[in-house]
Structure 1
């Protein structure tokens, strides 16, 4: 009996979280959480390697905020894609994939640097400098990770679960993003 109630509550919670007006909040929270975890993992590795002394909670909060920006963009992007390209044929999946890689991926990367730069000294200089120095490292990694992941995403998943899937795949990418963002210019 307790098991059934637990399953029922979990099911109802999922329905509420991924339904209607709550979906945007769910997507933002998921993206923010995964970006936070990615940065914590990267910092843990840096501490282990003795490249970092202690956790930088400001850095983690910046990564969390960039995750929320990404969640908002992805939420609206996936809805937009499904309105302009209807259906899940392989032809439509490839169209969505190409639009995603050529439009959304660069937008996400640039918005990441913009969001984080807001909280740094000389935000405009930091933003333009980091985009020039680090954009291509992240964009190349996007082309390795996202095409296979997005084929699965666009072919099998309903729109409302795409940011959840995207965020799950993003964990490893977010570790790398944190690494690229916080490495020294001489290491690029």
Structure 2
């Protein structure tokens, strides 16, 4: 049975990645609505959860292609050197993927592309703090220990925590607190 599942996942990896990504982002939003008290206050916003989950329709294919490129690049050097090079590439693309997440989410809300980018710019420092704290160590584990076919699935598991935070950032106005 496990071999059949593994073979199906390998043969239909993009479909698997899209499905797990949509499910994971939607689940993260449900968790975040509960943690934030939104469900107790206003009830579960299932439309918001559907919009958030649908972000996976864009994120998963992007990540799928990104990891395929990283895994097919001919990085020269020892295994450790190759892992560090992949980590550097991944870290360089963090702003790109967080921008996709936020702008696609805003477009699903009916906002214009310029309004979507404006929201990202307004919230990007909050997002980047989370991004650069969580992703480099998580991706070090990913690139060092995970087989290529499980990279997006692993990232989706780590993303459950990340997307709870992203759901909060996406669906709330945040303010900078000065230390003066």
Q: Normalising by structure 2, report the TM-score.
A: 0.89
5+ residue gaps in structure 2? none
- How many Å separate the matches in 1 of 2:75 and 2:18? 24
1:62/1:115 contact within 8 Å kept: no
The answer to whether 1:27 aligns with 2:35 is no
- How many Å separate the matches in 2 of 1:120 and 1:147? 30
5+ residue gaps in structure 1? 1-8
Please name the residue that 1:117 is paired with. Answer: 106
| Alignment deviations for residues 9-54 of structure 1 (CA, whole Å, 9 cap, x no partner) | 232112211x13x00000111111110110000001222695x411
Shift of 1:62: 1.2
Q: Which moved more, 1:171-180 or 1:128-137?
A: 128-137
- How many Å separate the matches in 2 of 1:135 and 1:98? 20
| Alignment deviations for residues 127-159 of structure 1 (CA, whole Å, 9 cap, x no partner) | 122111112211221111111111111111111
Q: Normalising by structure 1, report the TM-score.
A: 0.85
- How many Å separate the matches in 1 of 2:64 and 2:81? 22
1:24/1:72 contact within 8 Å kept: yes
Instruction: Give the ranges of 4+ consecutive aligned residues of structure 1 lying more than 6 Å apart after TM superposition.
Output: none
CA RMSD across the alignment = 2.0
